[in-house]
Structure 1
Amino acid sequence: MSFQRSWYAKILRSIFSYSSTSRPRCRRASPTGGFDLRFDNDYPLVTLVIAKGQYAISSQFVSTMVAEPKTRPVPHAPPYVRGIINLRSKVMPLIDLRLRMGYPSARKEQEEFRRLMEQGEQDHVNWLNELEASVEEGREFSLTTDPAQCDFGKWYASFRTGNNTLRSFLKKFNQPHRKIHALAHKVKALSQAGRHEEARRLIAIARHNELKTMVQLFQKTSKIIAETHREIAMIIETPTFDYGVAIDQILAVEFLGQGTIEDLPPGLEMQTSNNIVGLIGRRQTDNSTVQILDPMRICDPDDVKGLILNPEQAREPEPAKTLTPA
């Protein structure tokens, strides 16, 4: 079993240790019609990451988790409904929680990242080709020699990520990227001195060494993004209906700080995550703020009513593979 699957299995064990055989019960409704999520402090919260923000759902609504769920798109569904999934012969909608909360989807971000890496690779191939052409044609080299000023360099200096594997790997760009841009000054000096053959030799060496290394790094970075972001869906059970939510990352199953859970400040409800945040609280580990999602607001039954049109459609998605706690 992979580390990631082991980690989520551990999370499931934490959830199941508090789970009940009955469906979640609501002691009283909130003024907005959803659950009052303070109703049962006997259940910890599943804290999770959505688009770099920290959120949570009460574990009493979480029945299981699904690894990389395969969905069947359905016509006329709201944009945030990715499609339907088949879990133990039970078909339910899968909600893209990022889209539901007004963020770009994780899939879109991954595709944009892949294109960025491809563009960075091509830009530096073109950069070295242009440097070579400037030597051959005896003209001024016009592209930037500052590694911090090329498009990739600007992105590299500003990019931040919580992905430890990616953050560590990106450091490998630093040396070859600086060397390849510094090459322009050496080549220019040799060309001005009439030592064109030496300039060509430096470019050839850089193409075989620094550029080759950078091309490999760009390609490997795209693979790391694909390999480290394995989507997980949590299956949510409410008193009236069930659905899945696609999430970025699960942090922990935990109780928030005692006395920290409270209503959203006045006027903030309509500004926060499409009005599906019910309460806020703070984690005991680092006192960071967590927005607590109301499971009855995440998926509106009226939005998904009639998505499954017939039995044949229900059998279309491949059965989802749950992550067992054993």
Structure 2
Amino acid sequence: MSELETAYPWALFNLEQGIYGVSSQYIKAIFKIENLIKMPGMPHYMRGAVNMRGKIVPIIDTRKFYGFQSVAEEINGLTELLGQRKQDHINWIRELEDSVVENREFKLTTDPHACAFGKWYDHFETNDNTLEYLLRKFDAPHKRIHAVGVEVRKLVDQGDREKAFDVVRKAKNSELIQMIKLFDSLVNDFAESKRELAIVLEDPKQNLEIGLTVDRVIAIEPILEDRENTLDSVTHKSHESLGLAKRSKDQAPVFTIDEKYFLNL
């Protein structure tokens, strides 16, 4: 196995949960995406364009190009899901209170692993370190709010409805408020962490420039040829613009981008 034959290191970046690379030989600039110019009638994967020192540079949504969910779609999907799970817990404690006031059985789950959020939380996996960190904050508060249901049911069974009602009232102003704040802050913090970058590629000989959106740049380093695997054996996202290599430090697969393919679109 040898380094790819180039005098230039590679810019490695995340796209969805994969590692992609583009030769630094073709990189003109890397910047946060702002002030996009909308371009009507363009393909679905074209995000728009930016004015770069007086030149209009098209920006491709690289996620969409390769058939992934866009960052905006990812944020919107998580926002909708967490909004529903937040409302679930508002409804849950409201029903707990009503069951005490009306002296009837509370039929919703008191098991934090059995509610819709708990089931999702227990099985959700991500390589996004920011999202993983934000989600860990839910563990203890979520268990505490469901423990309130256990305590209230026990008090009701003992005939102490007044104390049970007091426990619910305190939970509404404590555990529930904390959960609501966590849901809201996770959405905001996750959206802020997902501010994309654009890598602008250029071919000065042909006066061509194109920008590719990336989730984040993770390294500038040489990479190694992969003579053992093929794209089809590593991912179902094979494409004529992609090749396959490996990082030297851990042998992780790198999907190498053919810059000329995009510059000549």
TM-score between the two structures when normalised by the length of structure 2: 0.90
Deviation at 1:117, TM superposition (A): 2.2
Structure-2 change in CA distance of 1:205 and 1:288 (3 Å):
same
Deviations 1:166-191 (A, max 9, x none): 32232221111111112222211222
Structure-2 change in CA distance of 1:191 and 1:66 (3 Å):
same
Structure-2 change in CA distance of 1:266 and 1:168 (3 Å):
closer
Match of 2:257 in 1: 293
2: CA distance between counterparts of 1:293 and 1:263?
19
2: CA distance between counterparts of 1:179 and 1:243?
51
1: CA distance between counterparts of 2:119 and 2:263?
39
Deviation at 1:93, TM superposition (A): 0.8
1: CA distance between counterparts of 2:256 and 2:212?
15
Deviation at 1:63, TM superposition (A): 0.8
What pairs up with 1:26-105 in 2 under 5 angstroms? 40-105=5-70
2: CA distance between counterparts of 1:168 and 1:267?
32
Match of 2:155 in 1: 190
1:225 aligned to which of 161, 182, 190: 190
Match of 1:256 in 2: 223
- Secondary structure (helix, strand or coil) at the match of 2:239 reads helix
- Secondary structure (helix, strand or coil) at the match of 1:274 reads coil
Deviations 1:5-30 (A, max 9, x none): xxxxxxxxxxxxxxxxxxxxxxxxxx
Give the strand-richer structure, 1 or 2.
2
Would the aligned equivalents of 1:49 and 1:251 in 2 still touch at CA under 8 Å? yes
Would the aligned equivalents of 1:49 and 1:55 in 2 still touch at CA under 8 Å? yes
What pairs up with 1:94-173 in 2 under 5 angstroms? 94-173=59-138
Deviation at 1:299, TM superposition (A): 5.6
Would the aligned equivalents of 2:223 and 2:246 in 1 still touch at CA under 8 Å? yes
- Secondary structure (helix, strand or coil) at the match of 1:242 reads strand
2: CA distance between counterparts of 1:144 and 1:274?
47
2: CA distance between counterparts of 1:123 and 1:178?
15
1: CA distance between counterparts of 2:24 and 2:37?
27
Deviations 1:32-91 (A, max 9, x none): xxxxxx5x4211111111110111111111111122232122221100001121111000
Deviation at 1:115, TM superposition (A): 1.9
Moved more, 46-55 or 145-154: 145-154
Deviation at 1:270, TM superposition (A): 11
Structure-2 change in CA distance of 1:265 and 1:175 (3 Å):
closer
1: CA distance between counterparts of 2:115 and 2:121?
10
| Percent of residue pairs identical | 34
Would the aligned equivalents of 2:130 and 2:190 in 1 still touch at CA under 8 Å? no
Deviations 1:85-121 (A, max 9, x none): 1111000210000000010101110111122222222
Paired letter, 2:163:
E
Structure-2 change in CA distance of 1:155 and 1:272 (3 Å):
same
Report how many residues are paired: 261
Verify: 1:181 aligned to 2:146, yes or no.
Answer: yes
